[in-house]
Amino acid sequence: MALNVRYVARETGTNLRRNFSLTLASVVTVAVSLTLFGAALVFAQGVGNMTARWKGGIEFIVFMQPQASQEQLDSVKSTLEDNPEVKSVTYIDKAAAYEEFKQLFARSKDMIEAVDQEAMPPSFRVAPSNSDADVIAALGQQFEKKAGVREVVFAFETVRTMQRVTRIASIVIVAVAVFLLVAAVLLILNTIRMAMFARRREIEVMKLVGATNWFIRVPFMIEGLVQGIIGAVVAIIGVQALNWAFDRGLSNNRDLKIFQGFVITGGQMSFTTLLLIGLGCAIGALGSGIAVSRFLDV
């Protein structure tokens, strides 16, 4: 089909310029929807990291002394396992505790350097079968006096609230984002339809002189793709900016200590970036694909 890169670039550029206001509308819609989507994702990841050890119904954690003996560990373990009020127990050894510590304090490098794996307290994460606060408190306190136990930490009410609020907020934000994504697809579709209308005479001549269907289609498809990608790039910048602002505003706030564990790992950020680019391409391809197949009679 001998597609000429310069030809496609020129035609796509002309189309984008000719319908500048519509193009801008599509790009902005893609950008806003993807920013919301990305922000919801990043926030959920951050809260997930922050409250990782309180997942799965864990209500309290029995921290052992780092130098606790094997007998002391076994004793606490069997007491927990034999207790009918306890639904499940998870043992976190020193290595696992150190990994978690590193993630939790990813922001303070000197803190990580100051501590080594041997100093980490092993712990038991306990999910009780009864969710009543008094029962849980009584259950946990039994272990405070046991040999080798350093302390018993209960799930903060704030952690529970955080998890709940985050879940609801994420669902709402993602729902709004999905609506906007649909709007973005429709806007791209219309922009391309306008571009086709503006070029209908050229398309007619192209067909009559024997231009292949793909030759006619490709500039319009690339136009949609470009809109999606520009929107995604703007969204990525937006998400990074939000993350930065959040980092500065909340994580350094001494009154909201819990947010010090709010950290997005590099891997998670790369994942979000790739996801947004992928979604941007998908939106652009979908919008232009529908437009080309429905309105371009080639």
Q: Which of 4, 78, 161, 252 binds other proteins (CB under 8 A)?
A: 4
Q: How far is CA 41 from the centre of its chain?
A: 3
Q: Which of 213, 240, 260, 268 binds other proteins (CB under 8 A)?
A: 213
Number of residues that bind other proteins (CB under 8 A): 19
Q: How far is the CB of 199 from other proteins (least distance, A)?
A: 9
Binding of other proteins by 204 (CB under 8 A): yes
Q: How far is the CB of 194 from other proteins (least distance, A)?
A: 17
Q: Are 61 and 205 in contact (CB under 8 A)?
A: no
Question: Residue 84 in 3-state DSSP?
Answer: coil
Binding of other proteins by 205 (CB under 8 A): yes
Binding of other proteins by 208 (CB under 8 A): yes
Q: How many CA atoms lie within 13 A of 106 on its CB side?
A: 17
Comparing CB distances to other proteins, the nearer of 10 and 257 is: 10
Binding of other proteins by 5 (CB under 8 A): no
* Residue carrying structure tokens 């934000």: 173
State the helix-helix crossing angle for 213-246 and 20-50, rounded to 10 degrees. 40
Binding of other proteins by 215 (CB under 8 A): yes
Spatial distance between the Cα atoms of 82 and 87, rounded to a whole number of angstroms: 10
- Which ranges in 19-145 belong to alpha helices (H)? 20-50, 70-82, 94-104, 109-114, 133-141
Q: How far is the CB of 208 from other proteins (least distance, A)?
A: 5
Q: How far is the CB of 7 from other proteins (least distance, A)?
A: 6
Task: Say how many C-beta atoms besides its own lie within 10 A of residue 281's C-beta.
Answer: 15
- The first and second tokens of residue 89, run together, are 């127990």
Binding of other proteins by 170 (CB under 8 A): no
Binding of other proteins by 7 (CB under 8 A): yes
Q: Which of 206, 250, 269, 285 binds other proteins (CB under 8 A)?
A: 206
Helix (H), strand (E) at residue 179 = helix 157-198
Q: Which of 17, 145, 209, 297 binds other proteins (CB under 8 A)?
A: 209
Question: Residue 144 in 3-state DSSP?
Answer: coil
Q: Are 271 and 56 in contact (CB under 8 A)?
A: no
Q: How far is the CB of 188 from other proteins (least distance, A)?
A: 24
Q: How far is the CB of 219 from other proteins (least distance, A)?
A: 11
Give the footprint of other proteins on this chain (CB under 8 A).
Answer: 1-4, 7, 201-202, 204-213, 215-216
